[in-house]
């Protein structure tokens, strides 16, 4: 591992419960193929890892994605409206790997203007471990990210969608988020 990134380990049972929760939510909201293409349970796992980090330091925040409630932001932390971006991976990340915001999601973030902070992480499938790599203000992500088409190789990972990408090493360390809230 290139850095000592914050992580949360999940048991097999917890992963099953996340998947079941996803299935119930998908039925409730009448989701169809999108869920199968981009498993939301992975995003939830990374959100829970970030939530554990906030709890560890005793920070006050609002977690928006609970019990079937949905909001475009995942957390409110002081003045920061945070969207947690995640992906699954089968190999441990290197700090030169790219993290993505899918093009359609980025367009929505810019159009709405609600989200002002992005937190990035990944779920390492073989270990059932969610990592939180770091964060960036949306304005900085907009300046630094580069567009990469679907199929681009990032380390050992092939990007699955067109999107705006930034290397893990370009992110701010998680602890620095406290100074910006």
Please state whether beta strands 153-154 and 146-148 pair in parallel, antiparallel, or not at all (unpaired): unpaired
- Is residue 2 pLDDT above 60, yes or no? no
Tell me the pLDDT tens digit for each residue of 9-40. Answer: 999 999 999 988 877 766 665 555 444 444 78
Nearest to 177 by CA among 111, 118, 99: 118
pLDDT at 153: 84
- Mean residue pLDDT of the chain comes to 87
Rounded CA-CA distance 93/30 in Å is 34
Rounded CA-CA distance 12/91 in Å is 18
- Is residue 58 pLDDT above 70, yes or no? yes
- Is residue 172 pLDDT above 70, yes or no? yes
> What pTM, to 2 d.p., does this model score?
0.88
Query: Is the model more confident about 50 or about 35?
Result: 50
Q: In what order do the strands lie in the sheet with 98-102?
A: 98-102, 163-167, 146-148
pLDDT at 32: 52
pLDDT at 13: 96
- Segment holding 81, helix H or strand E: strand 80-85
pLDDT at 180: 83
- Is residue 69 pLDDT above 80, yes or no? no
pLDDT at 27: 64
The CATH number that domain 6-180 falls under is: 3.40.1350.10
* Alpha carbon separation from 68 to 26, 40, 143 (Å, rounded): 10, 12, 34
pLDDT at 29: 58
pLDDT at 30: 57
pLDDT at 1: 42
């Amino acid at each position: 591992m290139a850095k000592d990134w914050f992580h949360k380990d999940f048991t097999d049972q917890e992963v099953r419960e996340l998947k079941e929760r996803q299935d119930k939510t998908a039925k409730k909201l009448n989701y169809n193929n999108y869920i199968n293409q981009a498993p939301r349970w992975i995003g939830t796992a990374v959100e829970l890892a970030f939530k554990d980090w906030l709890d560890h330091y005793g920070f006050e925040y609002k977690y928006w994605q609970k019990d079937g409630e949905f909001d475009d932001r995942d957390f409110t932390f002081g003045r920061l409206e945070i969207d947690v971006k995640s992906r699954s991976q089968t190999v441990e990340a290197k700090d030169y790997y790219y993290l993505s915001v899918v093009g359609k999601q980025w367009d929505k973030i810019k159009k709405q203007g609600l989200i002002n902070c992005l937190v990035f992480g990944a779920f390492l499938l073989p270990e059932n471990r969610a990592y939180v790599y770091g964060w960036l203000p949306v304005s900085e992500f907009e300046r630094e990210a580069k567009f990469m088409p679907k199929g681009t190789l990032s380390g050992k990972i092939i990007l699955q969608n067109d999107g705006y990408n930034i290397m893990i090493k370009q992110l701010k360390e998680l602890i620095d988020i406290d100074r910006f809230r």
